[in-house]
Amino acid sequence: MTRSDPHPAYVAVDWGTSSFRLWLIGQDGGVLAERRSAEGMTVAARTGFAGVLASHLAAISAPAGLPVLICGMAGAKQGWVEAGYLDTPAALAAIPAAAVRIPGVDADIRILPGLAQRDAAAPDVMRGEETQLLGAAGELGSGDHLVCMPGTHSKWVRLSGGRVEGFSTFMTGELFDAIAKNTILSHAIAEAGAVQGDNAAFRAAVKRMVDNPALATSQLFSVRAGSLIAGLSPDDAKARLSGTLIGLEIAGALSMVAEGTPVALVVSGGLGAPYRQALAAAGLSPFVIDADTAVRNGLAAGARALWSL
DSSP string, 210-267: HH-GGGHHHHHHHHHHHHHHS---HHHHHHHHHHHHHHHHHHHHHTTS-TT--EEEEE
pLDDT, tens digit, 9 for 90 and up, residues 95-114: 999 999 999 999 999 999 99
The pLDDT of residue 5 is above 90:
no
271-283 average pLDDT score:
96
Average pLDDT, the chain: 96
pLDDT, tens digit, 9 for 90 and up, residues 45-96: 999 999 999 999 999 999 999 999 999 999 999 999 999 999 999 999 999 9
Distances (CA, A) of 221 to 244, 248, 252: 11, 15, 20
Task: Give the torsion through C-alpha atoms of 291, 296, 297, 301, to 10 deg.
Answer: 140
pLDDT, tens digit, 9 for 90 and up, residues 133-186: 999 998 998 899 999 999 999 999 999 999 999 999 999 999 999 999 999 999
- The whole-angstrom separation of Cα 208 and Cα 294 is 32
Structural domains of the chain, with CATH: 1-114 (3.30.420.300), 128-309 (3.30.420.310)
The pLDDT of residue 271 is above 80:
yes
What global pTM score does this model have? Answer: 0.94
Residue pair 35/26 in contact (Cβ under 8 Å)? The answer is no
